[in-house]
């Protein structure tokens, strides 16, 4: 399917953590279908499996696949949990940059940085605090250009500086919370 061709190519650059022997499902398609499932409202591995199972005939026809059945939720979990988050983040940053350039917004481009704590991400058993992320949102195109996790003992200021340097934004107006209004920034 040409709409997802670029994203599939980028997802194909992510190293596959599985052994070569016995791979029944291609990694780029498995990742794309997992993304589509989450966008459609799936919030668990079983939900992703159900989405793929329900739409399997349409997905096979649209992408030219020969899958006999949807991957088991345990297979989906294994693949998603063993992926390197840095590789996935790299792919999404490239894809977001390409989409933002394709939109070709005229005039001033604004990027807003904001931090949020992810609901339900704490773990009492492992004594882990909730995950706090800082995101870079391109207001003009409506795309998240990237995000970075704020360390448990840190605040947003170094995370925003790191993300700003990593994205290499030029000719943009950057907005952030009041805590970022410091002399050295």
Helix (H) or strand (E) holding 133: strand 132-138
Q: Which two tokens stand for residue 139?
A: 């207001």
The C-alpha atoms of residue 113 and residue 156 are separated, in whole angstroms, by 10
Q: How many CA atoms lie within 13 A of 89 on its CB side?
A: 13
pLDDT by residue, tens only, the chain of 185 residues: 567 888 899 999 999 988 888 788 999 999 999 999 999 999 999 999 999 999 999 999 999 999 999 999 999 999 999 999 889 989 988 888 888 777 766 667 788 898 888 887 777 787 778 888 899 888 877 888 888 888 877 888 888 888 888 888 777 788 888 777 776 65
The C-alpha atoms of residue 160 and residue 182 are separated, in whole angstroms, by 13
Q: Which two tokens stand for residue 137?
A: 């949102």
The C-alpha atoms of residue 159 and residue 165 are separated, in whole angstroms, by 10
Q: Which two tokens stand for residue 86?
A: 């840095």
- Give the pLDDT score at 106: 64
Residues in the chain: 185
- Give the pLDDT score at 179: 74
């Amino acid at each position: 399917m040409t709409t997802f061709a670029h994203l599939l190519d980028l997802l194909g650059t992510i190293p596959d953590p599985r052994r070569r022997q016995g791979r029944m499902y291609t990694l780029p398609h498995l990742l794309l279908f997992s993304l589509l499932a989450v966008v459609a409202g799936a919030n668990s591995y079983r939900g992703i499996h159900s989405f793929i199972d329900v739409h399997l005939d349409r997905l096979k026809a649209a992408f030219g696949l020969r899958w006999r059945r949807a991957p088991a939720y345990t297979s989906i979990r294994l693949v998603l949990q063993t992926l390197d988050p840095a590789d996935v983040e790299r792919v999404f940053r490239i894809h977001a940059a390409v989409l933002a350039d394709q939109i070709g917004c005229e005039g001033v481009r604004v990027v807003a940085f904001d931090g949020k704590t992810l609901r339900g991400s704490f773990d009492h058993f492992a004594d882990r605090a909730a995950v706090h992320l800082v995101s870079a949102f391109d207001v003009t195109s409506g795309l998240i250009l990237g995000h970075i996790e704020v360390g448990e003992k840190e605040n947003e200021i170094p995370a925003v500086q790191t993300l700003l340097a990593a994205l290499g934004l030029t000719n943009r107006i950057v907005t952030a919370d009041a805590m970022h209004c410091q002399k050295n920034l």
